[in-house]
Amino acid sequence: MTLDNNRPWLKLQKLTFNRGERIILNNLSLDFRAGELTLLTGQNGSGKTTLLRILAGLLKPRQVGFEIAGNQRNWRQSYRYLREQICYLHQHPYLFDCSVYDNIAYGLKRKKLGRQAIGAKVAEALELISLEHLAKRNCHELSGGEKQRVAIARAWALSPRLMLLDEPVSNLDKRSRGICYDLINQLQQQQIGVVYTSHEPQTGKLNLSRHIHLYDGELSTKPLQTTYPPTVIDLVKERAGK
Amino acid sequence: MESLSAASYQALYLLFTGDSSLWTIIGISFSVSVRALLYAAPFGILTAFVLAYFRFPGRRLLVSIFNTALSIPAVVVGLTLYILLSKAGPLGAWRLLFTQDAMILGQMCLCFPLLVAMAHSALQASDRRAWETALTLGASPLRALLTILHETRFGLIGALVASFGRIIAEVGSSMMLGGNILNYTRNIPTAIALETSKGSFAEGIALGMVLLFMALFLNILLGQVQGKGEVIQ
């Protein structure tokens, strides 16, 4: 669902980032609207993760400008706001060495909510990911798919405007991927913007708003792929059917 | 010279009958070393964190200096501080020489490099994603630091236990800076040195037993804590 009528709440302008001599991101401009699901593709080392970390206010670029609610801001004026509004999830999300409940409550405690409000929000988050029964389990005892869902719930509980998911399904099996895609679609329905990175233009059942591709430090917009090339299994099924 | 078995028997007798002079020495020893560790730990761990998480010119040199400082003999630390704190020295006006405070200062200097080196190893090996995750979840840098310390707690406890072990058993610095004054600056190692030189082995053995039991207790405790960490991970 693309919300083209909405004005962008965040505009990124003239972003440049380099490591030594090598330019990773070259003069990029990008804007974000509420509930927009963006697929960001690019090869290994193309700068996808770097772009996400800059967006999340975790990495300072060489040059950037932001337009936030119509006001021009530089990095120094923006990074705290970005950290408040945007949640970044690593490719392999880091869960703290404590229970699922405490992990989800981590950010809520930083917002200084009362114990009851935290409990209610954590319960809601656990319901979202259907892991209510694992609330007291230590996060190191979870499977990869469960960890990914807990990390999404932990970010969702903070009601961010944008979630940055760095290859969230790269190491998950088919079932866990499906659950993750459903979760991401739910985030979009709740008007939470999502940037989803992948090497592949195929993203299963995701309800994408746009597809941007990062190559050689520059962004290009790609047409959305509504049909996907058949998999080997599809071809076998098709032949068996005939 | 009394036999080893007779001396050991008498040592146990002294310990279990609550010999007041013996227990005063033990009390002073623990009080001085615990305070030295408590004062040094926050600075040591913070220094280790800065060295592990920030890049700045001279960082590698500082790490090398702290690693080198691990092998400084206690008596050299004692001598250096003695010169600084003696009446003619630059810090003579503080009037610290032959006080518990001087012993604490000496023990802080001794445990600081060990604390930094071990805590640095623990923090260096910690997962950098933890720092970014804490920040992206709205933690302030200070809160994120506390989160990292919690995540690396098993390694940090190891650093604290090793540092305590180093200072509770050192004799050179305490002897020079404390002066081995009865009921004031006489701690376990200096008392052992004194009693042995007098030929009174029972008290020396009793105090040695306390040190050994403490070392055993701390190692068991450390094993338990680190074992817990392994189970979780």
Collect all residues with Cβ–Cβ distance below 8 Å to A165 and sequence separation of at least 6.
A89, A152, A184, A194, A195, A196, A197
| Interfacial residues of A (vs B; Cβ cutoff 8 Å) | 53, 56-58, 83-84, 86-88, 90, 92-94, 96-97, 106-107, 110-111, 138, 140, 154-155, 158
pTM for the full model? 0.85
Phi/psi for A95 (5° steps) reads -110, 135
B140: closest chain A residue by CA: A110
Cβ of A97 within 8 Å of Cβ of B129? The answer is no
Q: Do B129 and A58 touch (CB under 8 A)?
A: no
Residues of chain A found within 8 Å of residue B233, distances taken between Cβ atoms? 97, 140
- Indicate the pairing of strand A37-42 with strand A210-215: parallel
The reported pLDDT for the residue numbered A221 is 86
State both tokens at B203: 């008290």
How many domains does chain B divide into?
A: 1
Residues 76-135 of B with CB under 8 A from A: 127, 129-130, 132-135
Rounded Cα gap, residues B208 and B188, in angstroms: 8
* Burial annotation B183-211 (CB, 10 A radius, 16+ → b, else e): eebbbbbbbbbbbeeeeebbbbbbbbebb
**Chain B CB contacts of A158 below 8 Å:** 137-138
Instruction: Indicate whether B8 belongs to any domain.
Output: no
- Among candidate residues B219, B216, B210, the one with its CA nearest the CA of residue B27: B210
Instruction: Name the nearest CA neighbour of A91 among A198, A173, A193, A177.
Output: A198
Picking from A8, A82, A48, the residue whose alpha carbon sits closest to that of residue A217 is A48
pLDDT in tens, A185-218: 999 899 999 999 987 776 667 888 999 999 988 9
Nearest one of B159, B118, B153, B46 to A96, comparing CA atoms: B153
Q: Does residue A231 fall inside a structural domain?
A: yes
The pLDDT, as a whole number, for residue A237 is 61
Question: Which B-chain residues 134-153 have CB contacts (< 8 A) with chain A?
Answer: 134-140, 143, 147, 150-151
pLDDT reading at A32 higher than 70: yes
The alpha-carbon gap from A43 to the nearest alpha carbon of chain B, in Å, equals 22
ipTM of the complex: 0.87
pLDDT for B232? 41
Q: Find the helix or strand (DSSP H, E) in which A135 lies.
A: none
pLDDT score of B233: 38
DSSP 8-class letter at A58: S
CB pair distance less than 8 Å for A58 and B136: yes
Q: Do B151 and A86 touch (CB under 8 A)?
A: no
Residue range B165-219, pLDDT digits in tens: 999 999 999 999 999 999 999 999 999 999 989 988 888 888 999 999 988 988 8
Asked whether A168 and A204 are in contact (CB, 8 A), the reply is no
* Domain span holding position B227: 17-232
Q: What is the CATH number of the domain that holds A139?
A: 3.40.50.300
User: Is residue A97 included in any domain, yes or no?
Assistant: yes
The answer to the question of residue A1 being in a domain is no
Q: Quote the domain boundaries for residue A73.
A: 10-241
Question: Which among A53, A107, A138 is the nearest to B137, CB-wise?
Answer: A107
Q: Does residue A164 lie within any of the structural domains?
A: yes
Please determine, for residue B229, whether its predicted confidence score (pLDDT) is greater than 70: no
Does a structural domain hold residue B180?
yes
The three-point CA angle B62-B66-B70 to 5° equals 165
Q: Is residue B98 part of a domain?
A: yes
**In contact, A154 and A106? CB cutoff 8 Å:** yes
Mean pLDDT of the B18-35 span:
93
All residues of chain A having their beta carbon less than 8 Å from the beta carbon of residue B127 are 94
Distance CA B208, CA B191 (A): 10
Give the per-residue pLDDT at A88. Answer: 96
Q: What are phi and psi of B200, to 5 degrees?
A: -95, 90
Domain count, chain A: 1
From CA B223, how far away is CA B210, in angstroms rounded? Answer: 20
Across the interface, of A88, A96, A155, the residue whose CB is closest to B147 is A96
* Dihedral (Cα; B207, B209, B211, B216), 10-degree rounding: -170
Structure tokens at B100: 């518990």
Q: Do the domain assignments include residue A4?
A: no
* Residue A5 domain flag: no
What does DSSP assign to residue A96?
-
Question: Would the CB atoms of B232 and A138 count as touching at under 8 Å?
Answer: yes
Contact B195, B158 (CB under 8 A): no
Per-residue confidence at A52, pLDDT binned at 50, 70, 90? very high
Which is it for the CA torsion B83, B86, B91, B97, positive or negative? Answer: positive
Asked whether residue B1 is assigned to any structural domain, the reply reads no
Q: Give the CATH number for residue B25.
A: 1.10.3720.10
Q: Does B231 contact A at CB distance below 8 Å?
A: no
Closest listed residue to residue A162, CA positions, set A18, A54, A25, A44: A54
CB contacts, 8 Å: A84 with chain B: 138
Q: Which residues of A touch B135 (CB under 8 A)?
A: 57-58, 83
**Structure confidence at residue B7 (pLDDT):** 82
Mean pLDDT of A9-36: 92
Q: Do the Cβ atoms of B137 and A53 come within 8 Å?
A: no
Has residue A147 been placed in a domain? yes
Which residues from chain A sit within 8 angstroms of residue B145, using beta carbons?
Answer: none
Residue B209 within a domain: yes
